[in-house]
Amino acid sequence: MCGIIGYTGDGNDVLDVLMTGLSGLEYRGYDSAGIALTNGSLSIYKRQGELSALESALPEGGLDGEAGIGHTRWSTHGPPADVNAHPHTGPDGNVAVVHNGIIENYRALREELAADGHVFESDTDTEVVPHLIERELAAGADPEAAFREAVGRLEGSYAIAAVFAGSETVYAARNESPLVLGLGEDGHYLASDVPAFIEYTDRVIYLEDGEFARLDADEVVVTDADGTVVETSVETIAWDPEDAGKSGYDHYMIKEIHEQPDAIRKCLRERVEEMTRSITVEELANLDAPESVQFVACGTSYHAALYGARLLRERGIPAQTFLASEYDVDEIPVPPETLVVGVTQSGETADTMSALRGANRAGATTLALTNVVGSSAARECDHVMYIRAGPEIGVAATKTFASQQVALALLASTVTGAPSQSFVEGLRKLPDQVRTVLDDSSAREIAETYERADAYFFIGRKYNEAVAYEGALKMKEITYKHAEGFAAGELKHGPLALVTDRTPVFAMVTQGSKPQKTLGNVKEVEARDAPVVAVTDSRELVEPYADFVMEVPETHPAFTPILANVQLQLISYWVANRLGRSIDKPRNLAKSVTVE
């Protein structure tokens, strides 16, 4: 959940690379930041708070360095504080370490080291690592051997990088936490994610679990746990550095909401044939039609999976959706010929990866539906389908949710046979219809009306149920206001007790999703003086009962929720904007959740 950046080389100023990298990783969420540069000795600066606090602590004249590492921390062990920020050092100050993940046996290691006289300054699990390394150095090991020996003692998930005083080398290792290497012309990089160094190079190597890397100015060497050199493949990232900028928008989130038409087009490109009204997903050419499907996912991806499961069930394939953190193959039967689909934007989500690994052990066929080429999910599953949304920097997922929904519609058509003409036509029109919603939305006006509401409720049926959950999640994430999503029929089974004249209800009333029944729920809340905002493709049906109407174009029923969700994204954005929230970096949240 934290961010790592590292660099060694002659082509760039080390401090500039580290600070640029940390800035590129801010979207992942953090509460402190720090850097370590090596040039004879180690120069370490770290501060609680935003990156600006670290910048203000740096010397005015800058810092010289031959190599360095940096880190943004999202607290797990110990509260946000300067002392808990990374990098961490050992008692002699000869090594600096940054770490993502959780070291599960750190208590035992800490007690062992304390018995040897080691004194710890922080509350973190990470601090045991530099202490272990320095103990090996004191015993006569060279830096690489000391690093390997220390990492070999760790249990849990980790991406670790270290630098040593008097050395230009950066050492790294990973286990169940992402780490990617960047190959430059005059130096080499490592990071948790590509945006940290994309302006310097687009050539990358993804480390696998159990691998170590040694980065020098002129070479990168990847080895396994035994020290044997591993053959690696170099991939080229198809991102322009401008893709990760704001392009004149006030926030990444609103930029990414407006990028949804293009993201959907990229997802559909060469997969939907307009002339023949056919769908062909090349990545799935060797995927046999499953007898049943189990989706595993978290957060927004879970809501997309709910949508995908309904698509499959309506086409005759039994499909279930599980929260990845609750998926246990020892308790959940995985019948033969089951396809387990992990829906994960980053391809690194720890809970989803754990579920997929369990499915692999159970003998299921696995498919990763992800945005990140070369991610852990993409490498470890039997099949992978990319959603092609491009980089998403805002913590609150927007365009990736739309692209996940579209990709799941393509998946459903691929495994169930020829789609209807109206289905293909709906996909073809979808990008332009999303653009229409963006251009015509009254979300800003509605947000001004209800920004001070006590709570927000979202209701929908069938396909719209998942979007009700997602609409509420967006409102929670970026406004910090109470919001709940419900299957519309469940409103009267308890939640109706919470409805007041200060709880606006956003109701998705659309054709193909039992609009008359949902309209009955609208009347229930209207009778209790709750404001009603109807998201609909049938204005004349709901206008007599709604305080506001947000229209979406008519389309195939499977795609109405994608259009409706755009309206809900805009509502949440404008409420948060008026409340002055930190929209791109909501408190306590991280973009890529790599701990269980």
**CATH 3.40.50.10490 boundaries in the chain:** 245-271+282-419, 441-584
Residue 246 confidence (pLDDT) above 90: no
pLDDT at 10: 85
Nearest to 100 by CA among 20, 177, 5, 27: 177
The tens digit of pLDDT for each residue in 259-286 reads 999 999 999 999 998 676 789 999 999 9
pLDDT at 524: 85
pLDDT at 563: 97
Domain 245-271+282-419, what fold?
A: Rossmann fold (3.40.50)
Please tell me the distance from the alpha carbon of residue 119 to that of residue 122, in angstroms, as a whole number: 10
381 DSSP assignment: S
> Which residues, in sequence order, are CB contacts of 185 under 8 Å at separation 6+?
11, 201
Half-sphere exposure of 217 (CA within 13 A, CB side): 12
Structure tokens at 92: 């002699």
Strand partners for 367:
341, 383
Sign of CA dihedral 467, 471, 472, 478: positive
The tens digit of pLDDT for each residue in 562-592 reads 999 999 999 999 999 999 999 988 887 766 5
Sign of CA dihedral 407, 411, 413, 414: positive
pLDDT at 242: 59
Mean pLDDT of the 406-421 span: 91
pLDDT at 244: 63
* Architecture field, domain 441-584: 3-Layer(aba) Sandwich (3.40)
Mean pLDDT of the 214-226 span: 94
The residues assigned a catalytic role are 2, 591
Where do we find the tokens 């090349």?
282
Q: What are residue 254's phi and psi, to 5 degrees?
A: -70, -35
Residue 18 confidence (pLDDT) above 90: yes
Q: What are residue 26's phi and psi, to 5 degrees?
A: -60, -35
User: Residue 455: pLDDT band by 50, 70, 90 thresholds?
Assistant: very high
Mean pLDDT of the 542-553 span: 94
List the strands of the sheet with 203-206, edge to edge. 41-48, 32-39, 67-73, 3-9, 187-191, 180-183, 203-206, 235-236
585 DSSP assignment: S
- Quote the pTM value: 0.78
Please tell me the distance from the alpha carbon of residue 470 to that of residue 400, in angstroms, as a whole number: 12
Percent over 90 (pLDDT), the chain: 67
Q: What is the mean pLDDT of the chain?
A: 91
Amino acid letter, residue 547: D
The tens digit of pLDDT for each residue in 317-362 reads 999 999 999 999 989 999 989 999 999 998 988 899 999 999 999 9
Give the helix ranges, DSSP H, for 139-285: 143-152, 252-258, 260-268
**146 or 513: whose pLDDT is higher?**
146
**CATH 3.60.20.10 boundaries in the chain:** 3-242
Please tell me the distance from the alpha carbon of residue 322 to that of residue 296, in angstroms, as a whole number: 5
To which H or E segment does residue 171 belong? strand 170-175
The tens digit of pLDDT for each residue in 161-206 reads 999 999 999 999 999 888 999 999 889 999 988 888 988 999 999 9
Cβ neighbour number for residue 554 with a 10 Å cutoff: 15
pLDDT at 575: 97
Structure tokens at 575: 């409420």
**Class of 3-242 in CATH:** alpha beta
pLDDT at 574: 97
Residue 11 confidence (pLDDT) above 80: no
Please tell me the distance from the alpha carbon of residue 158 to that of residue 141, in angstroms, as a whole number: 23
pLDDT at 590: 64
pLDDT at 32: 85
Where do we find the tokens 């501060």?
47
